[in-house]
Structures are given as structure tokens and as C-alpha cells.
Amino acid sequence: MPELPDLEAYRSFFDRRIPGVGIEAATVSIALVVRAPKDDFIATLTGNAFGEVERRGKFILFSLKSGNYLAIHPMLSGRFQYCPPKEKQRAKTCFTLALANGQELRYFDERLMGKVYLVREGAFDAVPRFGELGPEPLSEELTEEVFGERLRRFRGQIKNVILNETLVAGIGNAYADEILFAAGIHPYRKRTELSAEDEGRLYRAIRSVLGEAAAIVTERMEKEGLPVAEYRDHLKVHRRGGQPCPNCGASITEITAGQRITNFCRHCQA
């Protein structure tokens, strides 16, 4: 699943390439993911042009010169192609935008779980749960004090708490594991058991892990192009079950509950 660092890399990639570029044609191949009437989607985009590319949580937001936005939440398997028209189209391509610069922007989604919205003149309240998103983890407004105040509103296991995007936006399963490892906090500890020191370490880990990962993924995307799957080889514990902990050498634990994998070090995250 694309998470904040991945979406921030997409934002940077497209923001370097498409602002001011016109959309000559729009084609919808699989309408299931498009949360707008097909004809309306095509009519709104055709003849329009891109403005700046933004991000909010796990949404990538393509602003349009008309004042509207194309808002995309890739969910588990949504990905993009930005390529010449002659390049082979990926399976499960949902829509294609033919651009005035000779490229095509395509969205493909193997599981067809993504959500694509046309947002009229910034009316994001029409996008389900968009208005409930918490602050951006890397924003200046999220100070350690603000984070602590927000965190203490929640109960339950700490991993579940930081996955709740009403706390902060954009953290998913992979980076939740990385954040908690960096903070030295066991993923199944109750939020109410955390000390003020724990809260401070968690805040700093959120900002450092996500900030460093966003820089790594952005650089790789610029050099290597848009990936078919997320870059994950820089992660230290997520999906590293049975491998040695990079801090202490103990075996990394892997627990699967439902469809979610959790990885942590029992020694470093007591």
C-alpha cells in the first residue's frame, strides 16, 4: 500500500513535470474506481490543464486550471504510469489522460480498490472522511505539544492508534512498524501506558522516519521512474521477520493478525 513517503514522492515527481500541461483527451477504461459519472469525468478533464500537485495524507491531489481537483487515493494497489503513448499499458488501467506534452498519465489498480474523485472548486468535504484527517505529520503545525494532546485522546494498542488517520494523516502499516521500532515502543502496548518520554520519542520518530523515507523514495523515483511496487528495501523491520535486528542482532518477530503483518524487535521494543 502506498503510504505518506510514497505519495509524497509521487507528488514531487508529477509536480516537476505536469503543472501547466494541458489535457487533450481523457479515457476511462474501468469506471469502478471513478467516483463520478464517466461522461462528467471525461468532459471535466478534456481541455483542462494541470496546476500544482499536492498531497493530503494518502491522497494525491492534482489541481486543475478550472479550479477543480482530481483527487486519488490509491488504497492497496493503485499505481501510475507516465509514459509515451506507445508504451504498453498495464493491466487494470482505469483511466488515461493524453497530455499536450506528448506523454500519457495512466492510473492502474490491480485490486480496483482505489478511489478517484473530481472535487469541485476545492469542496473536499464531498470526499468521504477527507475532512476527518488529522494534521500532516511533517507539518510545522504538528508540534510535540500538539501531538501529545491529540495522542492522549486515543485508547488502545499504540500501533492501531498511529494508524488512525484522525490522529495524524498518512501513516500505514509498513511505516507504523518502522516508527515504533525507531521509538523503541512495543506495537501492542496500550496508549495509556506511554509515559511523556515515550510520547516524545514517538513524535520524533514519526517525523524522522517519514521525513527520511520521503527523501529516499523521492530520489529513487526521480532516478528510476514510477515503480510498479513501493520501494521498501530501506525499511529496517517491516517484512523482515526472522532476520537479525539491525540494532541488537536478535531475531525480528513477525505476527499476522487478520490481513495485517506486524514486525518488531522484542528486545529493542520492550
Q: Which residues are catalytic?
A: 2-3, 58, 260
* Number of alpha carbons in the 13 Å side-chain half-sphere of residue 31: 7
Higher pLDDT, 161 or 122: 161
Convert the pLDDT of each residue in 192-241 to its tens digit.
Answer: 999 999 999 999 999 999 999 999 999 999 999 999 889 999 999 999 99
Specify the domain boundaries for CATH 1.10.8.50 within the chain: 144-264
Q: What is the C-alpha separation between 31 and 112, in angstroms, rounded? A: 10
CATH number of 4-132: 3.20.190.10
Convert the pLDDT of each residue in 136-166 to its tens digit.
Answer: 999 999 999 999 999 999 999 999 999 999 9
Q: How crowded is residue 270: how many other Cβ atoms within 10 Å of its Cβ?
A: 9
Task: Note the CATH architecture for domain 144-264.
Answer: Orthogonal Bundle (1.10)
Given a cut of 90, whether residue 246 has pLDDT beyond it is: yes
User: Which pLDDT value is given to residue 28?
Assistant: 98
User: Which pLDDT value is given to residue 259?
Assistant: 84
CB neighbour burial string for 74-83, b if at least 16 within 10 angstroms, e if fewer: bbebbbbbbb
pTM: 0.96
Given a cut of 90, whether residue 121 has pLDDT beyond it is: no
Specify the domain boundaries for CATH 3.20.190.10 within the chain: 4-132
166 Cβ contact list (under 8 Å, min separation 6): 132, 133, 134
Confidence of residue 90 (pLDDT cuts 50, 70, 90): very high
Confidence of residue 122 (pLDDT cuts 50, 70, 90): confident
